Amino acid sequence: MAECKKIRKLITLAHYDEISPEEKKALAEHLASCPQCTKEFNRLQKTFQIMDKRERKYRGSEFWQTFDQKLNLRLEKESRIKKTSSRGFFPKVALKRLIPQLAAGAAILILGIFLGRYIWIPETPTIPGKKLSSPPLFDTSSSLNISQNFEKIRMVLMSIMNFDPETEDVYALDLIRQQILFEHMAALNEEIQKSALASKDKRIYELASDLEIILRQMANLENPQNSQNIKMIQSALMQKDILFRLRLFNIRHQRMASPGHTNPVI
């Protein structure tokens, strides 16, 4: 019986020609002497005959053409993914080099944001020559007090003149904020020129004219916090002796304002 069990396994394997010549010989000898196993052998042959009737749907060239097209589309997609993933966003070597640069850039950006929060103030759009909407720092009314306005301008320009860009913090001057003021001052000097022209006061007209030019340049500087620009302003003020001329005007005005003199209020 144990022999028959072994032989039945051999019958299956023999069908597929997966037994050695010795096993083949042993099988043949056993089948010749065992009717039970012979019946089993026959049943198995019939089983295989039925299983051989299984039909597979053969696919024509059209099917395989469509198959190839679909596959190629998917492969194209895969190729693109492969290229992107192998490269990453940047090539690996370039990325290594970029890391310190990116870190430095990020640090500068953070510093910029930090400083910007303290320095930057939204500018009020200004139209040269037009009356500004913010409260007037200078008297531009019809009863224009030239002396007082010149004194205020002199104080502002003095702070710039006394500033040492080599040793002091440029940002302490806050020239970006002061550019609005310079714009006001330039507009004021334009008015003073008109008044001086009307009163035929050549000295006031020339001083106001020089002041207007310098103040407009200061108001229009793209980077007023630059120490070179501050030096340039200082140089222009010195060339035209602006502070000295303003001081002289005030002294003269004070004398005129003393008893016996007429107040030069226009």
Output 18 or 29, the one with its CB closest to other proteins: 18
The span from the CA of 163 to the CA of 161, in Å, is 5
Q: Look at the block and give the residue holding tokens 């059209």.
A: 62
Closest CA to 207 of 159, 249, 155: 249
206 binds other proteins (CB under 8 A): no
- Rg (the chain; Cα; Å): 50
Of the candidate residues 2, 21, 22, 60, the single one contacting other proteins (CB under 8 A): 60
Concatenated DSSP letters of 194-234: HHHHHTT-HHHHHHHHHHHHHHHHHHT-S-TTSHHHHHHHH
Of the candidate residues 3, 28, 29, 63, the single one contacting other proteins (CB under 8 A): 63
Assigned token pair, 168: 């002091």
Stretch in the footprint of other proteins (CB under 8 A) among 66-74, 106-114, 226-234, 242-250: 66-74
Assigned token pair, 237: 């003020």
Closest CA to 248 of 193, 194, 198, 203: 203
Stretch in the footprint of other proteins (CB under 8 A) among 58-66, 185-193, 213-221, 249-257: 58-66
Closest CA to 136 of 179, 188, 193: 188
The residues, any chain, with a CB within 8 Å of residue 55's CB and separated by 6 or more, are none
Asked whether 133 and 218 are in contact (CB, 8 A), the reply is no
68 binds other proteins (CB under 8 A): yes
Of the candidate residues 26, 38, 40, 266, the single one contacting other proteins (CB under 8 A): 40
What are phi and psi for residue 137, nearest 5 degrees? -85, -25
Output 39 or 203, the one with its CB closest to other proteins: 39
38 binds other proteins (CB under 8 A): no
- Minimum CB distance to other proteins, residue 32 (Å): 19
36 binds other proteins (CB under 8 A): yes
Of the candidate residues 2, 57, 89, 93, the single one contacting other proteins (CB under 8 A): 57
Give, for 238, the enclosing helix (H) or strand (E): helix 227-239
3 binds other proteins (CB under 8 A): no
Give, for 244, the enclosing helix (H) or strand (E): helix 242-257
Stretch in the footprint of other proteins (CB under 8 A) among 50-58, 185-193, 208-216, 249-257: 50-58
Output 71 or 115, the one with its CB closest to other proteins: 71
16 binds other proteins (CB under 8 A): yes
- Number of other CB atoms surrounding residue 186 within 10 Å: 24
Q: Taking CB under 8 A as the criterion, which residues in 145-184 touch other proteins? A: none
80 binds other proteins (CB under 8 A): no
Stretch in the footprint of other proteins (CB under 8 A) among 61-69, 142-150, 224-232, 233-241: 61-69
Asked whether 184 and 136 are in contact (CB, 8 A), the reply is yes
Footprint on this chain of other proteins (rule: CB under 8 A): 9, 12-13, 16, 18, 36, 39-40, 43-44, 46-48, 50-51, 53-60, 63-64, 67-68, 70-71, 74-75, 78, 82
